[in-house]
Every structure is written in C-alpha cells, then in structure tokens.
Amino acid sequence: MDLIMPIAATFLVSLVSFVGIFFLIKRVSKSILITAFVSFAAGSLIGDVFFHLLPEHIELHGYTNESVLGILFGITIMLIIEAYLHCSHDSSTEIEVIEKEHDHNHHLHNHLGKLNIIGDGIHNFLDGVAIASSFLISPEIGIATTIAVIFHEIPQEIADVSVLVYSGWNKARILVINFLTALTAMLGVVLVFVLTNFIEDLEKYLVPVAAGQFIYIALADLLPVIHRKAGVKKYIVEIAAFIIGLIIMFLLQSFEAE
C-alpha cells in the first residue's frame, strides 16, 4: 500500500480538530446547525458503508460469514470501548455534553477531560484504520471514506472541545492537545501499512470491521441526538440533512463509476 494518500487524507482529517475553535470563540452548541450537521454526518457514514465500502468489498470478496463477523466485530468493539469510557466518567455520550451548560465556578472535572482525550484517541486511531483500509480497495473509495469521516469529525470535535472546556482546560491547551490526539489516526494508518506486509488481502478483514464501526457511530452516537429536543421544524431540518448526507455519498459513487 502506498502510504502517501492515506497519510495525507488522515492528516487532513486531523486538521478538523481545529474546528472546535468556533466553540471557544462563540457558543454554538445549542444551534440547530450543530444537530443538523450531526444528522448530515450520520447520513454520510451510512452512505459510505452501503454505497462504497460494502459494495466494493462484496464485489471483490463476496458476502461471506467472515464479512458478517467483521461487521459485528466492528459494532461490538465500539460498544465495548464506549461502555468502558462511559462507566469510567459516568457520562452517557460525548455528544450529549454539547447541550449542557458549563459553569466554571463549579468543581473542575479534570478526570473527565483526561478520559475524553483517551476515548477520542481510540476513536481517531480506529478512524485511521478505516481510512487506510478503504484505500486498500481503491483511491476513490479511500477519498469517499475520508470525506465521510471529516463530516462526522466536525460535530465530534465540537463535542470534545465542550468536554475539555467543562473540565476547566484553557484554550491553548485544548487546541494543542486536541490536535495531537487527532494525529493518533496516523498510527492507525501505519498499523494497517505494517500488517499488509504480513497478511494477504488485509482489506478483506478490515473493511467489514470499518463498516461496523461506522454503522455503530451513525446509529448509536449520532442519530440519537436528533431526538433530544422535539419540534416539527427541527425534525424536518435534521431528516433533510441526513438524506443530503446519503445523496452526497451516492453521487460520489456515480463519480467513481466514471
């Protein structure tokens, strides 16, 4: 596998960590724009799975029991990681924190910030694995997956920043640590690159796992956000955003076919 494209793509995704600066400049966590973008990101991830990753995987390797087990493993490993982190800091999801008020006069939960960094590092590492795995199929699939990851990272990074603000971290420390944590995705790329030297057709095993990971993030982490506050207009905007995310991934599929 040529490392240049997946490394460049992963570095681009890492730069998304700086989007959290908008949270530091102006409180945007309650804006309907954020929940709409969460829905859009969910649509993009689901679209990437069903329009790119799985169709190409099935075309190359067929739909086998190994494929099913890989998808289930991807879902299960995300469940285990998040269950551990949530039990550790007694918080339901990182995304939820973007809707909470932050009072710096209260006790500063430094342990929450540290656990958030650990959890974010693990997620970014797995994103790197997913991006590298998709490039093993083709550059086009890799680019589509990179775009989907970027879309989901934007609301995620705002959530991460909100957690760190709540933990009492200063702005400079938040931006630096958040970016360094984002770079753990590079380790995922390197790991895949190393494994390709020992395991033939590595993407056969990793792509279904990446698909399961994206399915879990979209359905368990992102989409539940739209139900936190009711409202017809709100639902219309968010469902439309989800569908737009699907459409963009479908259009990318058409572009790849050309």
Which of 110, 71, 43 is closest to 248 using CA atoms? 43
Tell me what pLDDT residue 216 has.
95
Question: Taking 60 as the threshold, does the pLDDT of residue 247 lie above it?
Answer: yes
Mean pLDDT of 44-68: 93
Q: Which residue has the higher pLDDT, 97 or 184?
A: 184
**Could you give the CA distance from residue 9 to residue 68 in angstroms, rounded to a whole number?**
27
Question: Taking 60 as the threshold, does the pLDDT of residue 20 lie above it?
Answer: yes
Mean pLDDT of 71-98: 73
Pair 165, 29: CB distance under 8 Å: no
Mean pLDDT of 81-86: 81
Residue 219 buriedness (CB in 10 A; 0-12 / 13-18 / 19+): middle
**Could you give the CA distance from residue 6 to residue 189 in angstroms, rounded to a whole number?**
7
Cα three-residue angle 253-215-155, rounded to 5 degrees: 90
Tell me what pLDDT residue 172 has.
84
> What digits encode the pLDDT tens for the residues 25-40?
555 555 667 788 889 9
Tell me what pLDDT residue 134 has.
95
Whether the model clears a pTM of 0.75, i.e. scores above it, the answer is yes
* Residue in the block written with tokens 């993030």: 217
> What digits encode the pLDDT tens for the residues 112-151?
677 778 888 999 999 999 999 999 999 999 999 999 999 9
* Residue in the block written with tokens 């095993």: 205
* Residue in the block written with tokens 């690159």: 193
**Could you give the CA distance from residue 257 to residue 254 in angstroms, rounded to a whole number?**
5
Instruction: Please tell me whether residue 101 adopts helix, strand or coil conformation.
Output: coil
Mean pLDDT of 242-247: 95
The pLDDT confidence band at residue 242, using thresholds 50, 70 and 90, is very high
Tell me what pLDDT residue 232 has.
86
> What number of residues does the chain have?
258
Question: Taking 60 as the threshold, does the pLDDT of residue 99 lie above it?
Answer: no
| Stretch among 28-32, 98-102, 171-175, 246-250 having the lowest mean pLDDT | 98-102
